[in-house]
Every structure is written in C-alpha cells, then in structure tokens.
Structure 1
Amino acid sequence: MTTISTATAGWLALRAPADDDARSADLAHELGRLLAPASEASPLVLHDLGAGTGSMTRWLAPRLPGPQRWVLRDGDADIVEHLDLRTVVDAAGRAVVTDVVVEHLASLPLDAFAGAAAVTASALLDVITEAEAAHVVAACVAAGTPALFSLSVSGSVRLRPAERPDDLERAVESAFNDHQRRDASGRRMLGPDAVAMVGARFAGAGWRVRTVATPWRLARGDTALIGEWLDGWIGAAVEQRPELAHAAAEYRRRRLAQLAAGRLHVTVSHEDLLAWPG
C-alpha cells in the first residue's frame, strides 16, 4: 500500500470527473458577477495557481465571460507538460489564450496579479504552508483581485455501509488529517485547516469571504477513484501512526470487498472559498 501522489497526471485525470461534479457553480457564478467587462483588446486575465493539467481552467472558463487570457502557474515543470486546454472556451464560445509560468509559490512576486481579473486554484490550499498561503493572500489584496479556491480538503470522511463501532475509521481519519498537517522537508502544510486560515486572512484585510461545502460523493460508478483514494487515505494514516498498520490492513480488506461488490459509498469533504474586496 502506498500513499497516493497528488502531483501526477494519472491521479489528476482519475479525480477530474469527481472534482468537476463537486466544485461550486454558485461561487463561479458569483465570481462572474465581480468581473469587469472585457474586450479583445483588453481581455480578462486570470491566474491559476498550482495549475497542474489545467482542470480548473477547463471547468471555470466556460462559466465566465470573456475574452479571457489565463496565466497557468505551477512549480512542477513535468506536470504542466500535460496541460491540455486546446478546446477550452469562454461563456460565449471564444477560445481562451493561455500562458504558462513555472514558478514555486515562494517565488511569487507580490505584484504578480497586478491588472488581473481573478486568481484561482484547485486542490492547492491544503498542501501549502501558512507562509505560502499568507503570501498568496497578500498578493491578491495588493492587486485587489478576487480569488476562487476550490476543493480544499476539510478533514471529514464518511464511508457507507457504516461500521459499528467506527473507532478504527475515526482513528484513520484523525491520523490522515495529522499527516496532511505534517512537516514535510521543512514545510508544515495547512491540511484541513487551510480554508479557515485563508478565509481569516482575507477577512482580516477587510475582504468579504464565502465558503461552500463541495464534497466528493463517490459510488458504484467511481470504483477506480475510490480504490486509489482508499489506498492513499489509509496509507497516509499508517505512515503517520504505524501502530494502526495491522488493524488498517484488515479494514482495507473489508472495504475493498464492499467496493468490488458495488456496495461502497464514500463522501470526502472539501470546501470552496471565494474572497473579494469588501
């Protein structure tokens, strides 16, 4: 059993349909209302942080007016090789223009978003540090640029059928959440605390903040994703608390049997956050 990688093209492709189903269309609509009119000569410029293979752009661009130019920012040069935005259009059906910047968040200039219409990110806040998140917030505030951050893990998981008692399941959940907050190579990630921390930073700057629960709801049609997610969830928990290994292995066997029988349903909590100047 291994911990899933959150930075491979294969994993991002596997989770993409669940991500698209979960994201908040309501917050996307609200963001659209905040955008100023644009023209071919002066398109909307949107920066996507931790762009990966471009899933946020593919989902959001058709929900926003245009014309649009996207700046895709990611610190992983290998992952952006898998960007595929050839068919992406805005709400009026116009093709979007894209630029790619390979750059770690720690190197993000404070004026990086000057003149931008919006900043976006997907599945990013929970895997960055408090200092990195504060830097992103400061850059948004400096530019007065609204921000939409989607699919940050918020810590709660529900599997059905329920186990009684569910003490082991709660122990795995707690250990996984601690693993998400772990110090990795000198970087202590925010994990499930991310949305609360980032929301408080924006609110402290006098900005308005909205959050919406955006859980994955996985069932019979999501067998491959559930299997990968389950291995990653349990693997991370055992890495954090090795004493769980024996009981977790038996728990995994039971859940995989339910998955094979088409009986396993999983809800993985996430939150979307929209912030804009007050």
Structure 2
Amino acid sequence: MTEQARVTEQGRVTEEAGMTEEIGRVSAAWLGLREPADAAARAPEFVERVRRHLAGTPRTVVHDLGSGTGSMGRWLAPRLPGPQHWVMYDRDADLLEHARAEMIHTGADGAPVTVETRQRDITRLNADDLTGAGLVTASALLDMLTAEEIERIVAVWAAAGCPTLLTISVIGRVTLTPSDPLDAEVAEAFNAHQRRTVGGRTLLGPDAVEATIEAFGRRGVEVLVRPSPWRLGADRADLTAEWFEGWLGAAAEQQPELTDRATTYAQRRLADAAAGRLGVVVEHLDLLANCE
C-alpha cells in the first residue's frame, strides 16, 4: 500500500477517502498502520499557533475533511483547549463510524469534545457547510485533488475566515537508505502516477501543495509551511514494507517496463526492511493558513 494508494480487486484506493467513486475506498488497516507515523511527523509549531488563536474561545467547531478513521481528531483534539465539536467528513460510512467510535472525549484542559459525522464528497464543500467554523483541518488530502478542486475548496476555506491546518501533504521526494540505482527511476514513475488522470480528473499529486499556497495567495491569505517527514526504519518495519510495496507497485503500473527489474529490486528492499536495515524518508509539508 502506498502513501497515496493501494490496489484492490475494485481498483485504486485513495489514501484518504472522500474523493470520487472512481478512485475508490481506503482500508482502515492502512490508516491504522500509518497513524503513528503521521502523528510523529506533524509540525508541533502549528499546534501552538492554533492553541494561541483559539485561547478564550467559548467553543471551537472543527471541520475535519477526508477524516478517514479520525486520526487527525485523535491527535489534535487532546492538544487544543476548551470545549470542541468535531465535524468529520468522508465518503465512506464505515470509516466515519470508526472515527465516531474512537474519538477522544476531552481536550487539553479536560473540556468536553463532541463529534458528528457527515458522509459527503468534500470536493463539493460550500461556504454554508463551514458556517461557524473555528478551525478547518485535513491530513494527507491535497495530492488527491485536481487544480479546479483546489481552487474551489481554497475559496471556501478562505471565506470561512478561520485557521486552516493541512498536514502530511506529499511533495514527491523520497530517500531510501542504503541507496539503490533503481530508486530515482521508481520515484519518478511514482510521481507520474500521482499526477495521473482518473475518471476524468487529473490529480495534482506532488504539485498540490504549491497550487494550494498560490490559491490562498490569490485571496490575500498568508500560508505558513513546515516540513513533516515520515522517518521509517526498524521501529516501523511493517509500515516501511507496506509503503514500499505500494510505492513500487504504483510506479510499475505507471511505467510497465520497470516490472522485470522491479522483481529483484523488491526482493532486495523487502529483505532489508524485514531485517531492519532499510531506512526511508518520505517528505511532506504541513500548511497553516489564516492563523494570526
């Protein structure tokens, strides 16, 4: 399973549900496997900025987009002060039920945290949906959007007038240690796969972060950017292996001529991962917009 997608008998599956039926359905097992790595990677500085912004707010309504199993809520709600109400959006009813059941119930200061779920296609979000929002969040979402969808959804976020925290966005850079001559070719093919056209939608993949920053800028909204890399090694060998298999599989799907060489390459890399010898850095960026 890749950071972006994995193959099932139904087709490609997105990293975070909430897009189109053509792209498919994400597995709760994958989201659970990656949750600790996401938590370790997110930029703590942005949490402090959001905390200061929300200080003294009687009750914060947080809209979490493409929430999956609710990992963002479980990570962020205990770090924020005051009463919170989380509104979680996803297209997958099963994932939303998981998110509701596993949500924490108290914030940083012991104040209550409540949750509701909305089974929705977030690319059709409108300004009315975010009425009263105090914070908008999303994780591992931007790369699965098109340029038109970024433009539309950023307009909604900017109009909401509240902070928008977007975490764990891929930027197309991966480093494997020890290095292998095939690494760069696989990475290039994978990035091309992220930019593929699915169901008439051309995904932005690693270009989505820049597109998002530019869309906010056109609306006069400053965006802060911080790195949030996954650092995978022996302590996360299962995640490393799952990520690698999907990364390579997507690259070979995009560039079939890789397939023969990929077999021995995979054997070498997966043996290293099983032995705890393979290190992987998957670079992401976190964005924080509209937070004074």
CA contact (8 A) 1:111 1:139 kept: no
Number of the residue aligned with 1:206? 220
Q: Report matched runs for 1:40-189 at 5 Å.
A: 43-83=59-99, 84-163=101-180, 166=181, 168-189=182-203
The 3-state SS of whatever aligns with 1:202 is: helix
Cα distance change on mapping 1:207 and 1:277 into 2, 3 Å = farther
The match for 2:57 is 38
Q: TM-score, normalised by structure 2?
A: 0.89
Matched, 1:259 2:259: no
2:38 paired residue number: 19
Q: Deviations over 1:27-59 (max 9, x none)?
A: 1111222226222xxx11010000101000111
Other structure's SS at 2:48 match: helix
- Secondary structure of the corresponding residue to residue 207 of structure 1: coil
Alignment check: 8 A CA contact 1:105 1:132 kept: no
The root-mean-square deviation of aligned C-alpha atoms, in Å, is: 1.7
C-alpha distance in structure 1 between counterparts of 2:225 and 2:144, whole Å? 18
State the SS of the aligned residue for 1:112.
helix
Relative to 1, partners in 2 of residues 1:137 and 1:126: Cα closer, same or farther, differing over 3 Å?
same
Q: State the AA in 2 paired with 1:25.
A: P
Counterpart check, 1:276 vs 2:290 = yes
For 1:200 and 1:35, the matched residues in 2 are separated by 26
1:277 to partner: Cα distance: 6.2
Amino acid at match of 2:62: L
Q: Is the 8 A contact 1:110 1:135 kept in 2?
A: no
Q: Does 1:237 align with 2:254?
A: no
Return the alpha-carbon distance in structure 2 between the equivalents of residues 241 and 195 of structure 1: 25
Change in Cα spacing, 1:188 to 1:160, as seen in structure 2 (3 Å) is same
CA distance in 2, matches of 1:254, 1:86: 40
Indicate if the aligned counterparts of 1:113 and 1:145 stay in contact, CA closer than 8 A.
no
Answering whether residue 44 of structure 2 is matched by residue 28 of structure 1, we say: no
Partner of 2:10: none
Assess if the C-alpha contact under 8 Å between 2:50 and 2:291 holds in 1.
no
Contact 2:73 2:103 in 1 (8 A): no
TM-score of the two chains, using structure 1 as the length reference:
0.93
What is the rounded CA distance, in whole Å, between the counterparts of 2:137 and 2:219 in structure 1?
19
**Unaligned ranges ≥5, structure 1:** none
Identity over aligned residues, as a percent? 47
Number of equivalenced pairs? 272
How far does residue 111 in structure 1 lie from its aligned partner after superposition?
Answer: 2.5
